[in-house]
Amino acid sequence: MNLNYKSYCEKMRKIADLNFASAVLGWDQEVYMPVGSSDARAQQLGTLAGIAHELFTAPELGELLSLLEKDESLSPEEKLNIKKSSKDYKDKKKYTNEFVIELSRCTSEAFQAWDYARKNNDYNHFAPSLQKLIVLKQKETELLGYTSHPYDALLDQFEPGMTTVKLEKLFSEVKSALVPFVKEIVAKKPVDDSFLKQNYDSDKQWNFGIELLKNMNFDFNIGRQDISSHPFTTSFSSKDVRVTTRINVNDLREMIWSCIHEGGHALYEQGLPESQYGLPWGEASSLAVHESQSRIWENNVGRSLAYWKYHYADLQKIFPENLLNISLELFYKSINKVEPSFIRTAADELTYHFHIMIRYEMEKGIIEGSIPVNEIPKQWNAKYKEYLGIDVPTDALGVLQDIHWSHGGFGYFPTYSLGSFYAAQYFACAKKNIPGLLELIEKGDYKLLLDWLRKNIHVHGRLYTAEELCERITGETLQFKYFFEYAKEKFGNI
């Protein structure tokens, strides 16, 4: 191996070790850490973030990257690694070490404040921490720089190349197509899904969720699942991937689709090339591509009739008192019921994107300064009335429901809709490439689908942008029409 490239790999992996050590502490903070330990944990995370930033912005790494950018002996993949790392280096150089440490401490403290506020329906408890984070994120946009709108700087951190101009165009398509389609569906007699909201034993739910993950081929030898207040996936390498779920004893849906959704994220992480640990090639392409992997499993597979033709009998055996007299057809219609609701993570496939548009518009206003912290709940509730026609009764069911702002994740939410649209386009392509895919799903056999995703998406890591990857796989850039055609076929039949 080229000696300079070898040195680059060693430096990047040392930085990755520090970042993943921080990720372990972050995972513990959300899963097992005692409530009173938050101050010490915030300090520990801040220290590690500062050390990792110092190493990544060291002049020695910059000089090494400059040399490697001119090195023609590198392979095409090695050149792409250097290109991506050079961009990351230039971006990180824009941050001071003090800013990185302060942002890490602030997000750690904000998570604890948010967790308490959500459980106690007390937005005012979270507001001061949120205000600090917003000020830091606004400062971050200035550090990074932008051309059109400050929110673009944050979008680019999660979805390289995405801008507010592109999102406005996409969401205008969503509004013109989905709004009337949803109104048409909601006007019809709603299916009675009350059986899903009866009492379901938490231990039995947990065990069923584990079986679903195993059936998806999630490797428990290099992964695990736990409980958290907000389901998430994290990884410390492709050989250590963690997922969490949330169980509601009065709503079976939360656990099932949390497991399948996070399982899709986890399969992506487990499929990234192990040999590229710490390098761009060993990282996910983007947040939208990551979300496409969770959505393809959660919705295109996990909410399909084919999927439940295989799994429903087992679920009936586990909960006979609730489901024995419920037909597969009624169950399928109920899990795909279209209905305006308060909670994003529990929303149906169609109204889900209204939840995302609301958050996008809120974040854009917050970052540009047109929505002050004390006005956030009021404006949030007004948008829910406008888009979904519902009155939000509490902040716990409203502005406090998501964990993202407590992590400083401004710019993240749009990737959820983008991911769903990529998923529909990928799944349409997979059906063409895998003969009898739906029949395989009916048999509980997902191996060929997972192999297709590994070959076409996972193995490439971050070598390609989301748009490049989509065009490489499907022959087109992202097209909303695939999602809408999928929606019309599915919900038209229901």
The CA distance from 448 to 471, in Å, is 21
**Residue at 150 is within a domain:** no
Q: What is the pLDDT of residue 461?
A: 97
CA torsion angle 414 422 474 432 (round to 10): -170
Q: What is the pLDDT along the chain (494 residues), one digit of tens a residue?
A: 799 999 999 999 999 999 999 999 999 998 999 989 988 998 999 899 999 999 999 999 999 999 999 999 999 999 999 999 999 999 999 999 899 999 999 998 999 999 999 999 999 999 999 999 999 999 999 999 999 999 999 999 999 999 999 999 999 999 999 989 999 999 999 999 999 999 999 999 999 999 999 999 999 999 999 999 889 999 999 999 999 999 999 999 999 999 999 999 999 999 999 999 999 999 999 999 999 999 999 999 999 999 999 999 999 999 999 999 999 999 999 999 999 999 998 899 999 999 999 999 999 999 999 999 999 999 999 999 999 999 999 999 999 999 999 999 999 999 999 999 999 999 999 999 999 999 999 999 999 999 999 999 999 999 999 999 999 999 999 999 999 999 999 998 88
Same domain membership, residue 127 and residue 174: no
* 335 and 438 both lie in a single domain: yes
Domain membership of residue 387 (yes or no) is: yes
- Check whether residue 173 and residue 124 sit in a common domain: no
> How many folded domains does the chain comprise?
2
In this structure, the answer to whether residues 122 and 248 fall within a common structural domain is no
Question: Residue for token digits 């165009």?
Answer: 169
Q: Catalytic: 298?
A: no
Q: Are residues 127 and 183 in the same domain?
A: no
Task: Tell me if 279 sits within 8 A of 85, measured CB to CB.
Answer: yes
Pair 429, 470 in one domain: yes
Nearest C-alpha neighbor of 311 from the set 335, 291, 292, 295:
335
Domain limit, last residue, from 87, 112, 145: 145
pLDDT score at 229: 82
Distance CA 452, CA 365 (A): 40
Query: For residue 158, is it within any domain?
Result: no
Residue 344 sits in the same domain as residue 420:
yes
Distances (CA, A) of 392 to 250, 377, 382, 406: 20, 10, 9, 21
CB atoms within 10 A of CB 47: 15
Domain around 72:
3-145
Measuring CA to CA, which residue among 350, 67, 49, 326 is closest to residue 184?
A: 350
Last residue of a domain, one of 113, 145, 177: 145
Do residues 275 and 339 share a domain?
Answer: yes
Considering the candidates 78, 140, 262, 283, report the single residue annotated as catalytic: 262
Q: What pLDDT does 26 receive?
A: 92
* Closest by CA position to 492, among listed 341, 338, 339: 338
Q: Supply the pLDDT for residue 494.
A: 84
* CATH code where residue 230 lies: 1.10.1370.30
135 and 208 share one domain: no
202 and 97 in one domain?
no
Q: Which of 145, 179, 196 is the last residue of a domain?
A: 145
pTM over 0.85? The answer is yes
